[in-house]
């Protein structure tokens, strides 16, 4: 498996520093948070996009994906949501990234059936565009659809190869779903996996990998046993927790922890 980290852990850091951190600490790739607060987002021009792609390529570090914020199940018109997804897809194509991330974002006032149908309709439309660009749209296990069982309801309706799943192990765990059940639901659609660690269900402040309660060992053992050979991306949510330790000082130990889990499960 390949290892990456998300720039959510180093908010606002210049791309040259992100690339340096990845290369220095032995990560194969980086998930870029695609938001106007960050150096890379759909508003940057073609020259800037080419410069970012060249910087990663020169360092031998891959851009794993773009973590966008489109909410595919949210109430309202389809047009703005699909336009937001298309902007992310265009950016991913220009950067050479294989994936973009979207959220479910369903509203509590919707019925589950309405939220599922809305998300599937939008993903199905966007997936046709994604197919022409060679990029996959990944629905993250998050918010209104935090388990694999939730996500598969939507993806089963879409039925398109370019619409897949991003397994966030914290959210499926918080949803009460065990790793074997999450993997069984998501594996036919799985793009990559976000790993992290937290103190408890009531305290989701990010911790160094291996120091919290999330079932990372079980997840890696399961993936190895099933022969899954994709990406593990450490999403350290420093952006939302100012008191969390800086990610820069944890990257080396985090990679070593994941590598150890991979070696032990081989």
How do the pLDDT tens digits run along the chain, 266 residues long?
Answer: 999 999 999 999 999 999 999 999 999 999 999 999 999 999 999 999 999 999 999 999 999 999 999 999 999 999 999 999 999 999 999 999 999 999 999 999 999 999 999 999 999 999 999 999 999 999 999 999 999 999 999 999 999 999 999 999 999 999 999 999 999 999 999 999 999 999 999 999 999 999 999 999 999 999 999 999 999 999 999 999 989 999 999 999 999 999 999 988 87
CA 68 and chain centroid, separation: 9
**Residue 71 to residue 104: CA distance in whole angstroms:** 5
CATH number for the domain spanning 252: value is 3.20.20.150
Among candidate residues 3, 44, 7, 46, the one with its CA nearest the CA of residue 27 = 3
Domain total in the chain: 1
2-6 and 231-234 strand pairing:
parallel
Question: pTM higher than 0.95 for the full model?
Answer: yes
Q: Are 187 and 149 in contact (CB under 8 A)?
A: no
Residues spanned by the domain of 65: 2-265
pLDDT, position 199: 95
């Amino acid at each position: 498996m390949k290892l990456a980290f998300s720039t959510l852990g180093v908010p606002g850091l210049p791309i040259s520093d992100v690339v340096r951190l990845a290369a220095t600490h032995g990560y194969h790739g980086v998930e870029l948070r695609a938001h106007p607060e960050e150096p890379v987002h759909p508003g940057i021009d073609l020259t800037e996009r080419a410069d970012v792609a060249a910087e990663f390529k020169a360092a031998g570090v891959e851009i794993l994906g773009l973590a966008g914020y489109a909410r595919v199940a949210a109430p309202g018109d389809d047009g703005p949501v699909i336009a937001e997804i298309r902007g992310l897809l265009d950016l991913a194509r220009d950067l050479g990234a294989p994936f973009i991330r979207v959220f479910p974002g369903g509203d509590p006032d919707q019925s589950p059936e309405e939220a599922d149908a809305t998300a599937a309709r939008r993903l199905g439309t966007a997936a046709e565009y994604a197919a022409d660009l060679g990029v996959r749209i990944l629905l993250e296990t998050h918010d209104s659809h935090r388990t694999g069982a939730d996500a598969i309801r939507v993806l089963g309706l879409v039925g398109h190869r370019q619409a897949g799943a991003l397994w966030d192990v914290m959210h499926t765990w918080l949803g009460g779903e065990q790793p074997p059940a999450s993997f069984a639901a998501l594996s036919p659609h799985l793009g990559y996996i976000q790993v992290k660690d937290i103190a408890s269900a009531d305290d989701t402040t990010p911790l160094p990998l291996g120091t919290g309660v999330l079932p990372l060992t079980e997840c890696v053992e399961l993936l190895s046993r099933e022969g899954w050979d994709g990406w593990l991306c450490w999403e350290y949510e420093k952006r939302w927790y100012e008191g969390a330790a800086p990610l820069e000082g944890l990257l080396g130990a985090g990679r070593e922890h994941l590598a150890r889990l991979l070696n032990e499960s081989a």
